[in-house]
């Protein structure tokens, strides 16, 4: 398999008053054109992993790795300018909440077109037709009307689909989706994930889906990494999640209420330190 | 006696009517859920009960007394609300102690030191958190403070607006266990808004499914567990949650 992304010994460090703290401690992964899920609780370092791939971690945070190559390019040695050519065009990222990630004073059409124009020179009519086609691809009915709307005029689910459209229109090779649906309703969640899934499969992209929802990740990924305090504690095929061996993964799985719930109390993870 | 009786409730924001003829009862000591997607009006119903959405017609009565359209102290003593986002619902510049003492000061209740201590213990917050600010606490701890804030006046009923949707699954389990234990110990009545059906299965006795501002079905939680909801829309909602689990 031709590796799309290769990471060896990734470390993300933040200085604190009590000395440097590693939020990601030596993570390694190889990603082909497949769907990889990263799960863990808040603070497990899963989002930091996603951000460090795009070199979005700002100073004073520091990213080091023995190797971080994307399609043969060493991401760590690129200049900021070269990195900008990769962001969006080759690797793009869908953020958690459309309310905060879309520009409130630009129309949806302009924002999607901007994503395209940043990386390519195109005629105005081409841009319009590609934007419309992309909105249709994310199953927005009546794209002509939506083009002229501002983000506050659309629902959360639609906002998230607009963001996906914006991220996918330059046709990247790798999509990083950081909690793409946690701000959405259950019914809309499934829709949004199916759209991502469909586009990823059709275009043969790689996907990294970052989430705290184990059920969701196991439903939409091929392979899963479980992270805890900056380390990968378990790696398994999505279908094998139920047979996970690590006590932490088993604990997480058990703490989710089921729709046919009959337990009187949910099992809770033991925490180190008395911080519940 | 019903803890809460709602009949033919129409709530509007300005000119637009949000709910249409909502009606349901919650018995004393019962845990009742309102489920539905965003925009279905479920949170608006809680707001009307709490006095935060003031223009409504129909009737709301709490423990037999008709509810006024505004905020009143007598009601606040009987019924309190816990909000969705513990990051947004606590005052960032007030310590836990100040947050918890304020309702006591408003209601002219003395002995706040001991009461704050007691309520913190009942929600499982260690003493050392008492003089901390919200930014020094984790999400789960903040939600415990928000629950403690609601409980300090010793209400009989809690209005819970998506109390765990902003939390991690493991922390969600802790807060759900806490809510279940508090209800058992203090005989509380819950009215909870959520879109998470498994949470309803764990914590509630009955549920009402809402869509476009109307109640489409009221059912027993057993029906939900067996997948035996009747209305087509409720079945669709269950299907989404169940599809998640099979994979």
- For the segment A191-240, what is each residue's pLDDT rounded down to a tens digit? 888 888 988 888 889 999 999 888 888 889 999 999 998 999 999 998 88
Which pLDDT score, from 0 to 100, does residue B195 have? Answer: 84
Q: What is the mean pLDDT of residues B111-118?
A: 93
In this structure, are residues A23 and A13 in contact, taking their beta carbons and an 8 Å threshold? yes
The whole-angstrom distance between B81's CA and the closest CA on chain A is 22
Q: What is the mean pLDDT of residues B44-49?
A: 93
| Cβ distance of B172 and A261 shorter than 8 Å | no
Q: Which residue has the tokens 């963001």?
A: A163
**What is the band of B242 on the pLDDT scale with cuts at 50, 70, 90?**
low
Q: Which of B168, B238, B242 sits opposite A212 (nearest CB)?
A: B168
Confidence of residue A1 (pLDDT cuts 50, 70, 90): low
- Compare CB distances from A259 to B168, B172, B224 and report the shortest one's residue: B224
Top pLDDT among A129 and A97 is at A129
Residue B187: helix, strand or coil by DSSP?
coil
- Whether A114 shows a pLDDT value over 60: the answer reads yes
Burial class (CB in 10 A: 0-12, 13-18, 19+), A33: middle
A65, A223, B100, B123 from B173: Cα distances, Å:
36, 26, 24, 14
Q: Which two tokens stand for residue A184?
A: 């959405």
What residue ranges define each of the domains in chain B, with the CATH number in brackets? 2-89+156-246 (3.40.50.300)
CA nearest neighbour of B139 among B119, B161, B168: B168
Q: Please give the pLDDT value at position A6.
A: 94
Q: How far apart are CA B208 and CA B229, in angstroms?
A: 11
For residues B196 and B160, which has the higher predicted lDDT (pLDDT)? B160
pLDDT digits (tens, 9 = 90+) for A79-89: 999 999 999 88
Task: Report the distance separating Cα A73 and Cα B57, nearest Å.
Answer: 65
Contacts of A193 in chain B (CB under 8 A): none
Helix (H, G, I), strand (E, B) or coil at B167: coil
Separation between Cα atoms, residue A189 and residue A195, nearest integer Å: 10
- Residues from chain B that touch A274, judged by Cβ atoms under 8 A, are 126
Band the pLDDT of A9: cuts 50, 70, 90.
Answer: very high
The model's pLDDT over A55-65, given as tens digits with 9 standing for 90+, comes to 998 889 999 99
Contacts of A222 in chain B (CB under 8 A): none
* Model confidence pLDDT, tens digit, residues A90-102: 999 988 777 788 9
Is 80 exceeded by the pLDDT of residue A271? no
Catalogue the long-range contacts made by A146-154 (C-beta closer than 8 Å, 24 or more residues apart): A146/A108, A146/A109, A147/A107, A147/A108, A147/A109, A148/A107, A148/A108, A148/A109, A149/A107, A149/A108, A150/A104, A150/A105, A150/A106, A150/A107, A150/A108, A151/A98, A151/A99, A151/A102, A151/A103, A151/A104, A151/A108, A152/A104, A154/A108
**How far is A66 from B125, CA to CA, in rounded Å?**
43
Which residues in chain A have Cβ-Cβ distances shorter than 8 Å to B196?
Answer: 186
The CA distances from residue A150 to A85, A143, A146, in Å, are: 27, 13, 8
Mean of all residue pLDDT scores within chain B? 90
Check CB contact of A194 with chain B, cutoff 8 Å. no
**Is A121 exposed, middle or buried, given 0-12, 13-18 or 19+ CB atoms closer than 10 A?**
exposed
Residue in A186, A256, A258 nearest the CB of B195? A186
Kindly determine whether residue B169 and residue A256, on different chains, have CB atoms separated by under 8 Å: yes
State the nearest Cα–Cα gap between B175 and chain A, in angstroms: 10
- Average of per-residue pLDDT across B76-95: 90
User: For the ranges A68-77, A183-192, A202-211, which has the lowest average pLDDT?
Assistant: A183-192
* Partner residues linked to B62 by β-bridges: B4, B65
pTM of this structure: 0.81
pLDDT band with cut points at 50, 70 and 90 for residue B129: very high
Q: List chain B residues with CB under 8 Å of A255.
A: 169-170, 172-173
> Is residue A181 over pLDDT 90?
no
> Which residue of chain B has the CA closest to A42?
B168
Residue B247: what pLDDT?
Answer: 41
For residue B167, the chain A residue with the least C-alpha distance is A42
Domains belonging to chain A, first-starting first, are 5-254 (3.40.50.300)
Least confident of A42-51, A69-78, A167-176, A178-187: A178-187
- Interchain proximity B173–A266, CB inside 8 Å: yes
- Nearest CB to A252 within list B170, B236, B247: B170
Cβ count within 10 A of residue A189: 21
Q: What is the DSSP letter of A102?
A: S
Instruction: Report the distance separating Cα B201 and Cα B223, nearest Å.
Output: 10
Q: CB B244 to CB A275 under 8 A?
A: no
Cβ contact A257–B177 (<8 Å): no
Q: What order do you get walking across the sheet with A231-237 strand by strand?
A: A91-94, A174-178, A206-211, A35-39, A223-228, A231-237
Among partner residues B139, B202, B237, which is closest to A257 by beta-carbon distance? B202
- Model confidence at B113, pLDDT cuts 50, 70, 90, reads very high
Dihedral angle sign, alpha carbons of residues A156, B33, B228, B171 = positive
Nearest alpha-carbon partner for A156 in B191, B165, B108: B165
Rounded mean pLDDT of B81-87?
86
Cβ-proximal residues to A18 (8 Å cutoff; 6+ apart), any chain = none
Is A268–B195 a contact, with Cβ atoms under 8 angstroms apart? no
Preferred mutation among A41, A226, A257, A263 to probe B, highest tally of B CBs within 10 A: A257
Whether residue B246 has pLDDT greater than 60: no
State the Cα torsion B224-A37-B193-B246 to the nearest 10°: 0
- Residue B243: the pLDDT is 57
pLDDT-wise least confident of A13-17, A22-26, B36-40, B57-61 = B36-40
CB within 8 Å of B244: residues ≥ 6 apart = A186, A215, A216, A219
**CA Rg, chain A, in Å?**
19
CA distance A222 to A37: 8
CB pairs under 8 A between A and B: 99
Q: What is the pLDDT of residue A273?
A: 41
pLDDT-above-90 percentage for chain B: 67
Interface of A with B in 88-147 (CB under 8 A): none
| Rounded Cα gap, residues B4 and B23, in angstroms | 10
**Which 19-48 residues of chain A touch chain B by CB within 8 A?**
41-42
Indicate yes or no: CB of A266 within 8 angstroms of CB of B139: no
C-alpha A33/C-alpha B161 separation (Å) is 41
Q: What are phi and psi of A189, to 5 degrees?
A: -50, -50
Task: Name the CA dihedral angle for B142, B143, B147, B149, rounded to a multiple of 10 degrees.
Answer: 30
């Amino acid at each position: 398999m031709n590796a799309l992304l290769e990471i060896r010994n990734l470390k993300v460090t933040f200085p604190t008053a009590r000395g440097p703290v590693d939020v990601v401690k030596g993570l390694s992964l190889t990603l082909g054109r497949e769907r990889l899920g990263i799960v863990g609780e808040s603070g497990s370092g899963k989002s930091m992993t996603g951000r460090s791939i795009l070199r979005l971690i700002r100073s004073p945070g520091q990213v080091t790795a023995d190797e971080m190559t994307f399609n043969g390019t060493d991401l760590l040695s690129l200049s900021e300018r070269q990195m900008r050519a990769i962001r969006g065009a080759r690797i793009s990222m869908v953020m958690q909440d459309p309310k905060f990630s879309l520009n409130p004073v630009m129309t949806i059409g302009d924002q999607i077109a901007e994503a395209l124009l940043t990386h390519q020179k195109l005629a105005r009519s081409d841009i319009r037709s590609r934007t419309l086609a992309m909105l249709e691809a994310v199953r927005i009915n009546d794209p002509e009307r939506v083009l002229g709307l501002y983000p506050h005029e659309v629902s959360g689910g639609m906002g998230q689909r607009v963001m996906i459209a914006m991220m996918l229109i330059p046709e990247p090779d790798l999509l990083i989706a950081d909690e793409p649906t946690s701000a959405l309703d259950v019914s809309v969640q499934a829709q949004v994930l199916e759209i991502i899934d469909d586009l990823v499969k059709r275009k043969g992209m790689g996907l990294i889906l970052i989430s705290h929802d184990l059920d969701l990740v196991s439903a939409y990924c091929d392979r899963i990494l479980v992270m805890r305090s900056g380390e990968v504690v378990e790696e398994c095929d999505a279908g094998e999640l139920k047979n996970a061996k690590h006590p932490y993964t088993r604990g997480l799985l058990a703490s989710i209420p089921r729709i046919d719930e009959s337990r009187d109390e949910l099992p809770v993870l033991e925490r180190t330190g008395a911080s519940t | 006696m019903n803890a809460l009786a709602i009949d033919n409730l129409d709530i509007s924001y300005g000119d637009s009517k949000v709910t249409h003829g909502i009606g349901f009862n919650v018995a004393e000591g019962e845990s009742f859920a309102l489920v539905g997607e965003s925009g279905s009006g479920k949170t608006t119903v809680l707001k009307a009960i709490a006095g935060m959405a003031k223009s409504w017609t129909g009737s709301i009565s709490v423990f037999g007394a008709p509810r006024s359209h505004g905020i009143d102290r007598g009601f606040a003593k009987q019924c309190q609300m816990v909000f969705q986002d513990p990051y947004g619902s606590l005052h960032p510049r007030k310590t836990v102690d100040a947050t918890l003492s304020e309702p006591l000061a408003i209601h002219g209740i003395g002995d706040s030191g001991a009461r704050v201590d007691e309520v913190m213990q009942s929600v499982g917050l260690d003493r050392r958190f008492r003089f901390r600010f919200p930014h020094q606490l984790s999400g789960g701890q903040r939600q415990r403070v928000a629950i403690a804030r609601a409980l300090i006046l010793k209400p009989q009923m809690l209005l819970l607006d998506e109390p765990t949707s902003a939390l991690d699954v493991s922390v969600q389990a802790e807060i759900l266990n806490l809510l279940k234990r508090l209800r058992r110990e203090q005989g509380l009545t819950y009215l909870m808004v959520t879109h998470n059906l498994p949470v309803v299965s764990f914590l509630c006795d009955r549920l009402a499914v809402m869509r476009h501002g109307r109640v489409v079905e009221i059912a027993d939680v057993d029906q939900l567990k067996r997948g035996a909801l009747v209305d087509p829309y409720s079945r669709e909602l269950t299907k989404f949650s169940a599809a998640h689990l099979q994979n």
